[in-house]
């Protein structure tokens, strides 16, 4: 078995069960392991630390599978880990798991680089690490077996693959060829996921609970849904009795999918507007338009901490204009899915936006991803989606 030996004192994070081993911490690698192969990780003292997947092309040169020396990373091991992840969803979400859920959430489920989402009878697999690529066939077979899903589609084309030195892989792995977007249900509403071309695996399952929350808040309100994508929030607002929804996105394809979702649910009352949210917010302000509820769910402005400053300006800008457009008593549902922006920083940015917009606002709720996107306690990087529900009391001056 090949070995990776750490520099003196660099074992601390592994002892706390953080799964990533950065190249700077490595003293040497013995035994010439192949990419994705399981290696033994040891401290400079020789003490065993973990079994890990070797990834020589990445800054994260190994990702730990297991911290027990007695463990054996084989097909049976993957079966157990996948089953454990699926059991958690069954326990927490119940029957909804069969309709739509994230079954496996990477590092936070002890499966670095492996994500699996379920849409009705189809499982979409997204792999992002050399170790995950190495075990692909087993993972596909096991997911099909454990879920009884008819179809397994691989959607490994995330940007991070380039940093890992891995080729994209978008392919049907099990079942009949897809005839179009896959229909599924969420919170009793009907949607479709375009597995091959949609964002992520086709839909933002992480926002499920926040869409349900919006539904309870929307009655009689004029809603502005910014960065609406395929209309998850828009559909939920109308289902909750919103008086009107203006939904904005820069992608014509996404808006067409949003239109299809409205039709699928027999909902009317939404205007779908193609445009750049940064400009649309200003235009709405110039037109003296106002709303009772604004949703801001932008794309990742800061994929890494290095880009946090530029991202902070963008978040500040949209939140500031959203506050300006809200009537007294109005609600702002605002999100950041940037790994590089912490919850604390996000709250500061939103506070600064309220101040500059000249409104008094309070946080009613702090929000995050739905529980099928857990955060392992030893892996704080798992907390990427941060949200705030704010209420505008009135003008500050
Ligand atoms: N709220 C959505 C997910 C949003 S994803 C949901 O719950 O499903 C982010 C969306 O922002 C994408 O659809 C993308 O097309 C859109 N987008 C990115 N930059 C934009 C911009 N400057 N103006 C408008 N839309 C933008």
Candidate of 261, 273, 299 to mutate for ligand 1, largest count of ligand atoms within 8 Å of Cβ: 299
Q: What 8-state DSSP symbol labels residue 89?
A: H
Q: Is the pLDDT of residue 182 over 80?
A: yes
Q: How far is the CA of 269 from the centre of ligand 1 (A)?
A: 20
What digits encode the pLDDT tens for the residues 346-357? 999 999 999 999
- Predicted confidence (pLDDT) at residue 53 exceeds the cutoff of 70: yes
Q: Are strands 326-336 and 291-296 parallel, antiparallel or unpaired?
A: parallel
The yes-or-no answer on residue 390 being catalytic is no
Mean pLDDT of 95-105: 97
Atom of ligand 1 nearest to the CA of 254: 13
- What Rg value do the Cα atoms of the chain yield, rounded? 22
Task: Report pLDDT for 302.
Answer: 78
Name the pLDDT band for 43 (thresholds 50, 70, 90).
very high
Contact status, residue 61 vs residue 22, Cβ threshold 8 Å: yes
* Whole-number pLDDT of residue 393: 94
Whether 137 shows a pLDDT value over 80: the answer reads yes
Q: pLDDT of 314-350, one tens digit each? A: 999 999 999 999 999 999 999 999 988 999 999 999 9
152-172 average pLDDT score: 95
- Kindly report the average pLDDT of the chain as a whole number: 97
Nearest atom, ligand 1, residue 297 CA: 1
The strand ranges marked E within 73-204 are: 100-105, 114-119, 122-127, 151-156, 169-174, 182-186, 189-193
For residue 297 and ligand 1, the question of a CB distance below 6 A is answered with yes
Helix, strand, coil proportions of the chain in percent (round to 5)? 35, 30, 35
In this predicted structure, the answer to whether residue 111 has a pLDDT above a threshold of 90 is: yes
Distance 358 CA to ligand 1 centre (A): 27
From the candidates 226, 228, 337, 390, which is the catalytic residue? 337
Q: How confident is the model at residue 219 (pLDDT cuts 50, 70, 90)?
A: very high
User: What's the start-to-end Cα distance of the chain, in Å?
Assistant: 69
Instruction: Say how many residues make up the chain.
Output: 397
pTM: 0.96
Per-residue pLDDT at 158 exceeds 90: yes
pLDDT at residue 397 in the model: 60
Quote the tokens at residue 26.
């490595």
């Amino acid at each position: 078995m090949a070995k990776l030996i750490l520099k003196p004192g660099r074992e601390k994070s592994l002892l706390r069960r953080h799964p990533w081993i950065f190249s700077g911490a490595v003293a040497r690698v013995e035994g010439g392991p192949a990419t994705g192969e399981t290696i033994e990780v040891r401290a400079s003292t020789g003490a065993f630390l973990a079994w890990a997947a070797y990834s020589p092309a990445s800054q994260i040169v190994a990702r730990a599978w297991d911290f027990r020396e007695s463990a054996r990373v084989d097909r049976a091991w993957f079966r157990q880990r996948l089953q454990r992840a699926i059991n958690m969803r069954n326990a927490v979400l119940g029957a909804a798991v069969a309709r739509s859920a994230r079954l496996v959430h990477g590092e936070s489920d002890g499966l670095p680089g492996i994500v699996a989402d379920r849409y009705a009878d189809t499982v979409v697999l997204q792999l992002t690490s050399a170790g995950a690529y190495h075990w692909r066939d087993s993972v596909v077979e096991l997911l099909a077996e454990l879920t009884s899903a008819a179809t397994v589609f691989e959607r490994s084309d995330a940007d991070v693959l380039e940093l890992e030195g891995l080729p994209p892989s978008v392919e049907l792995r099990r079942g009949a060829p897809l005839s179009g977007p896959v229909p599924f249900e969420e919170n009793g509403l009907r949607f479709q996921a375009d597995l091959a071309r949609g964002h992520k695996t086709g839909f933002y399952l992480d926002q499920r609970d926040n869409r349900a929350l919006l539904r309870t808040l929307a009655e009689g309100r004029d809603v502005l849904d910014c960065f609406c994508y395929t209309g998850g929030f828009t559909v939920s607002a109308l289902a909750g009795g919103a008086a009107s929804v203006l939904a904005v996105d820069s992608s014509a394809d996404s808006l067409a999918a949003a239109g299809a979702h409205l039709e699928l649910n027999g909902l009317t009352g939404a205007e779908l507007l193609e445009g750049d949210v940064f400009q649309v917010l200003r235009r709405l302000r110039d037109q003296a338009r106002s709303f009772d509820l604004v949703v801001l769910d932008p794309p990742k402005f800061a994929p890494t901490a290095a880009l946090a400053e530029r991202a902070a300006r963008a978040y500040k800008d949209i939140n500031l204009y959203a506050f300006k457009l809200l009537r007294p008593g109005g609600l702002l549902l605002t999100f950041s899915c940037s790994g590089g922006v912490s919850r604390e920083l996000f709250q500061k940015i939103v506070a600064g936006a309220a101040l500059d917009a000249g409104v008094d606002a309070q946080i009613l709720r702090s929000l995050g991803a739905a529980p099928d996107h857990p955060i392992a306690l030893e892996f704080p990087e798992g907390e990427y989606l941060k949200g705030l529900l704010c209420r505008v009391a009135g003008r500050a001056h």
